[in-house]
Amino acid sequence: MKNILDRNQNKAGEVRNLLVAKKVLMVNLISSPGAGKTTLLERTCEELNKKFRIGIIEGDITTDRDAQRLKKYNIPIVVINTEGGCHLDSHSISKVLDSFDLDDLDVLFVENVGNLICPSQFDLGETFKLAIVSTTEGDDKPGKYPMLFREAKAVLLNKIDLIPYTNFKRETFNSDLKNINGQVPLFEISCTRGNGLKEWIKWISKQILSTSSTEV
Amino acid sequence: MHEIRIAEDLSAIVLETAKREKLSKVTKVNISFGVLVQIVPDIFIFAFSETVRNTIAQDAEVNIEIVSVKMICKKCGNDFGVEENRFVCANCRSTDLEIIHGKELFIKSIEGE
């Protein structure tokens, strides 16, 4: 039996091998539109910019607005416009990797197109996927989109400062997530207020360090 | 919306295979999708019919088998079906599991003449 997405899978394998050889951690950020991927990247760059060499691939349907917001950190950023496409794929990633000096990078964040279903089906060659979900979207997201929450190496719950203004129930979210992926670390954060960011930064720093120190 | 891209990749494989096997017409495409892939069969069939329009596969019937989720527990070796997204071992309650079915995006066979 042949996998329909073989072509994507094969290219993703090439990307992964290259990144392993260059000791670059690639993180595929997946969330709905407006969950806070770009704001998370802003906070993350502020904290990590001095310690690590960061690169960003911005998947954007038509604009470069997210990339504009990240320009201030003076890090290499490449935009991929999907022209309406709802996800990135390994071929588009492979093409833009040439724009980076991989010998001069520790971590490459890929901001996927805002969508919870499609991006989780397409392997980009990333080291791991990260699921970001915000409290204003409701507490039912893990149950509705099990594939993403199952595959993610960590889950970030953003906008926890807004919980009092929503009907978001922590118990529902946590128990659904536990049923789907009982082992995944969960970070409760607020990118605008700063809650929980310290733990997230500590965790991601550890991931970057373990990639850059692996024997190839 | 990932149905469109997956339909495009499928039609490319179908047409390549048909050419290699020197078919003049593709009559049936048998595929299986895991539940976790969250493909809507009607949208997929519509997308596929669009991507093979004016080709030798334009009249092909698409047969979709939906595969339910099955996991194996890495702790006790129990394999079990998953219902309602409860990915917890039914035997030992462990969450250290591996998905063995439910992520399929497979072409089983292509029929033609």
Give the DSSP letter string of A141-206: HHHH-HHHHHH-SEEEEE-GGGGGGS---HHHHHHHHHHH-TT--EEE--TTT-TTHHHHHHHHHH
Query: Quick one: pLDDT at residue A215?
Result: 67
Looking at the structure, give the CATH architecture of the domain made up of residues B2-68+102-112.
2-Layer Sandwich (3.30)
Give A89's contacts in chain B (Cβ within 8 Å).
Answer: 5
The model's pTM? 0.92
Whether residue A32 contacts residue A131, with contact meaning beta carbons closer than 8 Å, is answered with: no
Cβ pairs A/B, distance under 8 A: 74
Structure tokens at A157: 């719950």
Portion 123-162 of A in contact with B at CB < 8 A: 142-143, 145-147, 150
Whether residue A214 is predicted with pLDDT greater than 80 in this model: the reply is no
φ, ψ for residue B17, nearest 5 deg: -65, -45
- pLDDT tens, A57-87? 999 888 888 888 989 999 999 999 888 788 8
Query: Quick one: pLDDT at residue A212?
Result: 86
Q: Are strands A77-81 and B70-73 parallel, antiparallel or unpaired?
A: unpaired
Half-sphere exposure of A83 (CA within 13 A, CB side): 1
Give B103's contacts in chain A (Cβ within 8 Å).
Answer: 147
For domain A21-211, the CATH superfamily is P-loop containing nucleotide triphosphate hydrolases (3.40.50.300)
Query: Quick one: pLDDT at residue A14?
Result: 98
b/e burial code for range A18-35 (CB count within 10 A of at least 16 → b): ebbebbbbbbbbbbbeeb
Q: Are strands B26-34 and B105-112 parallel, antiparallel or unpaired?
A: antiparallel
Query: Quick one: pLDDT at residue A85?
Result: 81
**Residue in chain B lying closest to A121 (CA):** B37
**For residues B93 and A128, what is the distance between their CA atoms, to the nearest angstrom?**
26
Grouping H, G, I as helix, E, B as strand and the rest as coil, residue B28 is strand
- The verdict on a CB contact (< 8 Å) between B38 and A147 is yes
Please tell me which residue, A214 or A50, carries the higher pLDDT value.
A50
Whether residue B1 is predicted with pLDDT greater than 80 in this model: the reply is no
- pLDDT tens, A120-141? 999 999 999 999 999 999 999 9
For the complex shown, is ipTM > 0.90?
no
